[in-house]
């Protein structure tokens, strides 16, 4: 009987082994539901807490609440104390700012578990990582793009009027991430494209920062090194990809690499000289679960690939980010900042892979009206800073939401102050939209009035370029292009925000 017992124990041991191995892997709600429904907010909440409990690598934090009071979760991965080892690189990935772009959240939740597997632990030798899987839980529950205040969160990173974007930017301000990725979906099935006879078909599209005021080194490394890397990474894992180029169809609308505006997730971090990207997976056609497994895995693979790149090029990225940020913080006064830009051609034809509605197959189309290059139309010299009237509560509050350095102004005699006078209010084409474009005259401000009633916002800070873009009246990305700040601009009157120049 003794040998029988040994055999029995042996058998039990073997049959338990796969069970134990299986239970170590926590199954995501999407997999549990067999890809037949998207993950609800409640399922997401229990899942991230489950992952938190099983791993020391991961800590889940609530960084804020949505309009309807749902939690915004940040999953913080670190093999040490988060953010305290200066040799590591700090990376932020956030998904589902748009509630009807479900695969970003699903991919992030897959990634959340994949990162806890032993074969991926090497990443955290060099990376402190934060994953925000769901930026817009209210929109997600209703499967709609906007948040519960009907705001488009991905146009809200400059004015920061919504609790969701305020929470994310506060998280950014806290850790000053050196690399970031904003995850979305694109919907290629529109009427104009059907008429055109083709549609986009890449599983993933990836875009870099394009605002001219982001450091050139970051923009170059992103375009010349990161894009080819991520394309290959995705293709090696059987996902097609292409550079992010929303808009079109070709020759109906020109093709560009999206906006240079700094109000979205990608550029709002990019303008602080962050190595920053957007990734958009292909949405389902008219059913949110169509092809959901492939979509979620494609998104997860793109995020995982970004971490791989950051791991491999950690020192390069850290160096160019540090030197770009040093320049912002020291605030090179007199530096030219582009506040009006446009997309232009460079003689290149874009060969874009598209799915043909005629033949039902993938093909490649030549795009003639391709405008990949951003050029400046209007520069201003960076001042030492700005004075904002203390009585302009909305501007003061805006500066506080951004945690801008803001001090009482002391006229020490080393400054002079400029004021714009608004002669006329014209308009300018901004990527197909019309925005205000005042004609201005610069006047020297009487010295005596300068000291009282104003707060000083120095341009020498990490958000220095953001400040210039926000506060200059001729900026096509400025605060006055938003409804709540439009009243600051009045024809025939002085502009209330003053420029401080070093003598």
Q: Which span (181-189, 321-329, 367-375, 389-397) binds Zn ion, by CB under 5 A?
A: 181-189
Q: Which span (98-106, 265-273, 291-299, 469-477) binds Zn ion, by CB under 5 A?
A: 98-106
Q: State how far the Cα of 470 lies from the Cα of 455, in Å rounded to an integer.
A: 16
Which string of DSSP letters, residue by residue, matches 201-262?
A: --SEEEEE---TTS-HHHHHHIIIIIHHHHHHHHHHTT--EEE---S--TTTS-B-S----S
Which residues inside 303-362 make contact with Zn ion, applying CB under 5 A?
none
User: Which one of 70, 90, 98, 199 is in contact with Zn ion (CB under 5 A)?
Assistant: 98
Q: State how far the Cα of 37 lies from the Cα of 29, in Å rounded to an integer.
A: 9
Closer by beta carbon to Zn ion, 184 or else 314: 184
- Read off the DSSP letter of residue 143: T
Q: Is the peptide bond before 305 cis (omega within 30 degrees of 0)?
A: no
Phi, psi of 438 (to 5 degrees): -70, 150
Q: State how far the Cα of 234 lies from the Cα of 203, in Å rounded to an integer.
A: 9
Least distance CB 207 / Zn ion (angstroms): 12
Least distance CB 7 / Zn ion (angstroms): 59
Least distance CB 56 / Zn ion (angstroms): 34
Q: Which span (67-75, 90-98, 191-199, 374-382) binds Zn ion, by CB under 5 A?
A: 90-98
Closer by beta carbon to Zn ion, 184 or else 318: 184
Closer by beta carbon to Zn ion, 135 or else 160: 135
Contacts of 457 (CB under 8 A, 6+ apart): 385, 386, 387, 388, 399, 404, 405, 406, 467, 471
Least distance CB 475 / Zn ion (angstroms): 24
Least distance CB 96 / Zn ion (angstroms): 8
Closer by beta carbon to Zn ion, 264 or else 297: 264
- Give which of 357, 22, 57 is closest to 189, Cα–Cα: 357
Whose CB is nearest to Zn ion? 184
Least distance CB 91 / Zn ion (angstroms): 20
Q: State how far the Cα of 391 lies from the Cα of 372, in Å rounded to an integer.
A: 42
Strand partners, 255: 370
- Give which of 6, 7, 4, 48 is closest to 26, Cα–Cα: 48
Least distance CB 11 / Zn ion (angstroms): 53
The answer to the question of residue 184 lying near Zn ion (CB under 5 A) is: yes
Q: State how far the Cα of 140 lies from the Cα of 285, in Å rounded to an integer.
A: 17
Q: Which span (101-109, 343-351, 444-452, 467-475) binds Zn ion, by CB under 5 A?
A: 101-109
Least distance CB 133 / Zn ion (angstroms): 15
Closer by beta carbon to Zn ion, 38 or else 404: 38
Size of the site for Zn ion (CB under 5 A): 3
Sequence-ordered alpha helix ranges (H) in 271-416: 292-312, 314-330, 393-401
Closer by beta carbon to Zn ion, 126 or else 146: 146
Q: State how far the Cα of 47 lies from the Cα of 55, in Å rounded to an integer.
A: 13
Contacts of 140 (CB under 8 A, 6+ apart): 38, 41, 96, 99, 100, 102, 105, 134
Least distance CB 154 / Zn ion (angstroms): 6
Closer by beta carbon to Zn ion, 90 or else 200: 200
Give the per-residue contact string, 389-428, with Zn ion (x = CB under 5 A; - = no): ----------------------------------------
Q: Which span (60-68, 180-188, 441-449, 471-479) binds Zn ion, by CB under 5 A?
A: 180-188
Q: State how far the Cα of 135 lies from the Cα of 151, in Å rounded to an integer.
A: 13
Report whether 256 contacts 372 (CB < 8 A). Answer: yes
Q: Which span (183-191, 243-251, 368-376, 392-400) binds Zn ion, by CB under 5 A?
A: 183-191
Least distance CB 395 / Zn ion (angstroms): 29
Least distance CB 258 / Zn ion (angstroms): 11
Q: Which span (96-104, 130-138, 223-231, 370-378) binds Zn ion, by CB under 5 A?
A: 96-104
Closer by beta carbon to Zn ion, 85 or else 152: 152
Closer by beta carbon to Zn ion, 183 or else 436: 183
Kindly state the tokens that stand for 419: 């004021």
Q: State how far the Cα of 223 lies from the Cα of 367, in Å rounded to an integer.
A: 19
Closer by beta carbon to Zn ion, 101 or else 162: 101
Least distance CB 102 / Zn ion (angstroms): 11
Closer by beta carbon to Zn ion, 101 or else 472: 101
Closer by beta carbon to Zn ion, 278 or else 479: 278
- Read off the DSSP letter of residue 118: G
Binding interface with Zn ion (CB under 5 A): 98, 101, 184
């Amino acid at each position: 009987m003794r040998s029988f017992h040994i055999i029995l124990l042996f058998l039990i041991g073997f049959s338990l082994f796969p069970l134990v191995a299986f239970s170590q892997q926590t199954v995501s709600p999407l997999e549990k539901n067999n890809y037949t429904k998207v993950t609800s907010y409640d399922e997401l909440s229990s899942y991230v807490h489950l992952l938190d409990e099983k791993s020391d690598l991961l800590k889940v934090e609530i960084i804020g609440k949505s309009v309807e009071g749902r939690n915004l979760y940040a999953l913080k991965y670190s093999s040490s104390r988060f953010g305290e080892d200066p040799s590591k690189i700090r990376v932020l990935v956030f998904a589902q700012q748009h509630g009807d772009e479900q695969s970003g959240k699903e991919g992030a939740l897959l990634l959340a578990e994949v990162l806890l597997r032993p074969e991926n632990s090497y990443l955290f030798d060099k990376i402190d990582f934060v994953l925000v899987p769901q930026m817009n839980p209210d929109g997600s529950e209703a499967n709609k793009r906007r948040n519960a205040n009907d705001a488009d969160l991905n146009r809200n990173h400059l004015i920061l009027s919504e609790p969701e974007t305020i929470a994310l930017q506060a998280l950014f301000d806290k850790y000053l991430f050196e690399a970031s990725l904003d995850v979305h979906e694109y919907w290629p099935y529109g009427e104009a494209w059907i008429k055109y006879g083709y549609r986009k078909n890449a599983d993933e599209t990836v875009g870099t920062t394009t605002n001219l005021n982001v450091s050139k080194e970051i923009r170059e490394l992103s375009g010349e090194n990161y894009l080819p890397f991520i394309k290959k990474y995705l293709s090696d894992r059987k996902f097609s990809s292409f550079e992010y180029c929303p808009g079109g169809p070709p020759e109906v609308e020109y093709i560009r690499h999206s906006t240079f505006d700094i109000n979205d997730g990608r550029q709002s971090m990019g303008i602080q000289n962050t190595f920053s990207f957007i990734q958009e997976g292909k949405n389902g056609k008219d059913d949110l679960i169509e092809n959901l497994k492939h979509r979620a895995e494609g998104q997860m693979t793109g995020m995982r690939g970004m971490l791989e790149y950051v791991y491999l090029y950690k020192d390069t990225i850290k160096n160019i980010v540090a030197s770009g940020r040093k320049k912002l913080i020291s605030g090179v006064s007199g530096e030219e900042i582009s506040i009006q830009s446009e997309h232009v051609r460079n003689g290149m034809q874009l060969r874009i892979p598209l799915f043909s509605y005629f033949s039902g197959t993938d093909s490649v189309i030549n795009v003639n009206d391709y405008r990949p290059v951003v050029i400046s139309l209007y520069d201003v010299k960076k001042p030492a800073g700005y004075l904002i009237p203390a009585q302009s509560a909305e501007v003061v509050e805006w500066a506080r939401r951004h945690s801008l350095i803001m001090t009482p102004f002391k006229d020490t005699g080393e400054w002079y102050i400029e004021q714009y006078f608004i002669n006329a209010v014209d308009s300018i084409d901004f990527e197909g939209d019309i925005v205000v474009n005042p004609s201005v005259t610069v006047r020297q401000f009487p010295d005596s009035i300068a000291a009282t009633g104003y707060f000083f916002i120095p341009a020498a800070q990490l958000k220095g370029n953001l400040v210039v873009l926000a506060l200059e009246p001729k900026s096509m990305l400025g605060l006055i292009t938003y409804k709540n700040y439009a009243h600051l601009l009045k024809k025939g009157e002085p502009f209330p925000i003053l420029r401080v120049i070093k003598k």
